[in-house]
Amino acid sequence: MLSLISTVLATLALTGDAKADSRKSVDAGSNITLRYDGEENGRYRNLSVIKQGKLVRRIALGKRSYSLFEYDPDPATSPDGRYVLVTDVESGEVGLTGGRGSLHERQYCGLVDTRSGCLLARQTGQFCGGQFNAAGTWLSPALSDLTLADERPTAEDYASGRLSPSDAPDGSLDNLLRCDPPGPSNRGQYRKLIDAGIFEVTPSQRKVLHGG
């Protein structure tokens, strides 16, 4: 099963086309490195999370995405190295009277699980000003009682309509598979979301996720 899931993830990965000189890296501590590439106006379309020299996750944002990753020179990492905070900025034009437009930007922050590559708890506002305590809990004025295990998106969330796919960094099938790997306990939920066409999948991906 793990090999099948890996195949699905591999087929979902996007090929980076950024020049080497547009890459930027930062040491996040706990043997974790964040590497940015695909630079666009000072921000980045792609983010790689590397732990102990091995790639954990490369998040490649499509051209339709309104978000770009923002370089953080001092990223927050949990004391045990399990989670690292990553930042993206969502940009869009807001229409004004007289046919004019104004650029509006909003910063989002999320936590990447350095074991699975799952991006979870993507929030905006005061959440981004939080910090990890000694126990590895993310504390912020916005979510003081955050339980990270409860913030992972699941197949049931999408099958029930509580969540919808998006071009945001956490709204892809790739992210869902990392956060809630297919197995006996959620096979029915994956069948529902695949049959409903919630995510676009290839025939081979459908076979794996649908269970045959």
- Please indicate whether residue 97 or residue 187 has the higher confidence score (pLDDT): 187
CA dihedral 121, 112, 40, 97 (to 10 degrees): 0
Q: What is the pTM of this model?
A: 0.86
Tokens describing residue 70? 């923002």
Over the stretch 191-211, which tens digit does the pLDDT of each residue have?
Answer: 999 999 999 998 888 888 887
Q: Quick one: average pLDDT of 145-152?
A: 86
Domain regions of the chain by residue span? 2-210
* Residue from 127, 132, 91, 83 nearest 109 by CA: 127
